[in-house]
Amino acid sequence: VLGSVRPGRQGLRVAKYLQAKLATADFNVHIIDPIDLNLPLFAGRFAYLPAELKTEALTAVQAKFEESDAFVVITPEYNHTFSPVISNTLNYFYSEYANKIAGIVTYSVGGFGGVRAAGPLRPFFGELGLATIPKELPFPVVQNVLNEDGALSADAGASGEAIES
């Protein structure tokens, strides 16, 4: 689940990188991009929405979430917390998360990789019924580490080595 919709966002690079890595381990990966969903501000849980508010995109996401065994949330850091796009997207659902695992991936254009976004995500995920894995995966200076296709850039250096290990 991507956590940014703003112009020039870097999260899609991270999503493509992770999708390629997970595919080599034989995982079926769905990238949930809030831009594709065109969600309004949270209007209520999917299960309780009137039919006219259950868009085709939202219904498709509900089905993907229901069939998924685990989730990876990719978020930038906004004001020392996770992106509001994450809460707006995830709050539409609840039972779809029951007893499932979540991984936290953060990124930033700065040197800390958005790590301050991870802390507030843990209790949020707990309230949704998701169990988080103990380790996080930060992507510092993401614009220098990954190219637009999600591959490590030639000059990724130590950051690229850390991500690959």
DSSP state of 111: T
End-to-end CA distance of the chain: 23
Q: Provide DSSP, 19-73.
A: HHHHHHTT-------HHHHTPPS--S-GGGS-GGG--HHHHHHHHHHHH-SEEEE
DSSP state of 131: E
What does pTM read for this prediction?
0.93
Q: In CATH, which of 1.10.10.60, 3.40.50.360, 1.20.1250.20, 3.30.420.480 is domain 11-164?
A: 3.40.50.360
As a whole number of angstroms, the distance between CA 146 and CA 36 comes to 22
Sheet of 70-78: strand order equals 81-82, 70-78, 100-107, 130-139
Q: Name the more confident of 161 and 12.
A: 12
Neighbouring C-alpha atoms within 13 Å toward the C-beta of 67: 9
The helix/strand/coil state of 94 is coil
Give the tens place of pLDDT for each residue, 64-114.
Answer: 999 999 999 999 999 999 999 999 999 999 999 999 999 999 999 999 999
Give the tens place of pLDDT for each residue, 47-59.
Answer: 999 999 999 999 9
Q: What is the pLDDT of residue 162?
A: 78
Q: What is the pLDDT of residue 164?
A: 80
